[in-house]
Structure 1
Amino acid sequence: MSDVSTPYDPPQGPIPVVYQDDDILVVDKPQGLLSVPGRGAHLADCLLNRLQADWPEVLLCHRLDRDTSGIMVFALTKDAQRKMGRLFETKRVKKRYIARVAGQVAEDHGTIDLPLIVDWPNRPLQHVNFERGKPSVTDWQRMAIEDGTTRMRLLPRTGRSHQLRVHMQSLGHPILGDPFYSTDHAHWPRMMLHAEGLKFEHPTQERMLRLEAPCPF
């Protein structure tokens, strides 16, 4: 689900290509751009449509929230899309995120294991629900204290919608600039969450790929 609570004014300019071969295309999605079209003509501009202008054959493999920047992999063939889908489903794609969160996190690392489900009256918000929520697990590491905030490395084991955002809020340290789960989002120029790295086996070649998109904040 997309974050459409604020006016949609996506950034313009070229999309940085991180990696490309005959089977996959990996790019660095800018913050503020939808991964796929939203509902309505005003939400038609998205990363998928922009890429299709140069690669008409490009196919979606996964998504990032509108306000999250960072690395995304697309398929260039149906076979590669099917195999990438299987890698995501079986949790064989390792994801690494960088976030700045409110407050100073005391511990140097930890794991959050809280089941999540959509908050239907307030969708697309998600919330913790121990009875009906889907398993959601995030490992985290404190990187640095910066001006009363904390830079974190987040390593999700599962891929639930808004998982990192709700888990950080549940930890008592919401992601800075988050329009849904933080109370001080107006004080930040963007949501401070970036998908920095992906590690996975190439869908058609027997080799591991370790790809990165540098964190912009």
Structure 2
Amino acid sequence: MKNTKNRPAPGKKKMKIDTFIVEKSDTLLAGLLSFVPNKSRNVLKAVLRDGQVAIDGKAVRQFDHALRPGQRVEISWEKKTQPQQPHGLNIVYEDQELIVINKPSGLLTVATDKEKRKTAYAQLSSYVKMENPENKIFIIHRLDRETSGLLMFAKNETIKRQIQENWTTTIDQRTYVGVVEGEVQQEEGTIISWLHESKAFIVYSSQNPQHGQKAITHYKKLKTNKNFSLLQINLETGRKHQIRVHMQDIGHPVIGDSKYGSTQSPLRRMGLHAQVLAFTHPKTGELCRFETEIPKKFLQLFVVGKER
């Protein structure tokens, strides 16, 4: 790994910036640990969190971001004055075209007739306007109010349309974790049906190809007890309420989802979290992958002695 530390011009104050050229593939945090072995892991996590690490000129906060040989990594040791992140929103990644957040449960993606202001869209819109009042945010996809996890927005309409119009080739992976009612017997499985929405905004599942859009959901059992099962769920298609309806189809509705058959709500929220989002960046062509931890409240349902 080449270290090309910035050198100040004569008479100018030395900038506290280290620059490195990547020589081998690695994750960002591992690369930083080898670049600056005199800095602790906690210090490097802090500069990542605060947006002080840039790859080829773009700030990256994700510790497991993939490094490629030839990329230029800059570490600024002076904390920049940045717009305060929206309250309750964790910005996982941001560049000139996109923002990826980890949305909390209970927050709407966009406004409804009853709620206009307390939405992820409204908070991010205010956030980008702090830098420039002309800045805007565009919705690419949505998460249900009670579903937490990774959610992506565009900073211009061209990028939004590019992703939406090429969704199947742009999106590489969408993985959720869900807590469902009952003990799922199969270790893994695939659910295929056709979904259609009623005038009452309820999505129904059918085995008739003439009744709606084809939906394919893959699941794998991670943990189970006599009351609940924790599933890893991969979407092959992205229909409205697809996971919720398909879990109802197999007789194991998502906990807290009374709309689709759940009678239990031990977490006082829906047990669904968008854990992994991977996509090809529409501007750079780079594969971007983001992963969050399984919510601790989900895992607590499977701690021995806490079974209901």
Indicate the TM-score class for this superposition, using the shorter chain for normalisation.
0.7 to 0.9
Q: Deviations over 1:125-170 (max 9, x none)?
A: 1111323221011011111114531100110111111100000000
Distance 1:188 1:14 in 2: 19
Task: Give the secondary-structure state (helix, strand or coil) at the position aligned to 1:55.
Answer: helix
Which residue identity lines up with residue 254 of structure 2 in the other structure?
I
Q: What number of residue pairs does the alignment pair up? A: 203
**Which protein has the larger Cα radius of gyration, Structure 1 or Structure 2?**
2
Residues 1:168 and 2:247 aligned together: yes
Residues 1:96 and 2:170 aligned together: no
Which residue identity lines up with residue 128 of structure 2 in the other structure?
W
Distance 1:25 1:147 in 2: 40
- Does the CA contact (< 8 Å) of 2:181 and 2:264 recur in 1? no
Larger RCO, structures 1/2 (Cα 8 Å, 6+ apart): 1
Superposed, which structure 2 residues align to 1:44-193 within 5 Å?
44-56=117-129, 57-88=136-167, 90=169, 92-120=171-199, 123-129=200-206, 130=208, 131-146=210-225, 148-193=227-272
- Does the CA contact (< 8 Å) of 2:277 and 2:289 recur in 1? yes
Partner of 1:20: 94
Which residue identity lines up with residue 167 of structure 1 in the other structure?
H
- Does the CA contact (< 8 Å) of 2:254 and 2:262 recur in 1? no
Distance 1:205 1:174 in 2: 40
Cα 1:36–1:180 change in 2 (3 A) is same
CA-based RMSD: 1.8
- Relative to the length of structure 1, the TM-score reads 0.87
Q: Deviations over 1:94-140 (max 9, x none)?
A: 200000111111111110001110122xx221111323221011011
- Name structure 2 gaps, 5 residues minimum: 1-85, 130-135, 299-308
Distance 1:44 1:53 in 2: 10
Aligned-pair identity in percent equals 31
Instruction: Give the ranges of 4+ consecutive aligned residues of structure 1 lying more than 3 Å apart after TM superposition.
Output: 89-93, 185-188
Cα 1:184–1:31 change in 2 (3 A) is same
Which residue identity lines up with residue 190 of structure 1 in the other structure?
R
Q: How many angstroms does 1:81 deviate by?
A: 1.4
Distance 2:166 2:175 in 1: 16
Q: How many angstroms does 1:90 deviate by?
A: 4.7
- Name structure 1 gaps, 5 residues minimum: 1-11
Which residue identity lines up with residue 94 of structure 2 in the other structure?
Q
Q: How many angstroms does 1:43 deviate by?
A: 4.5
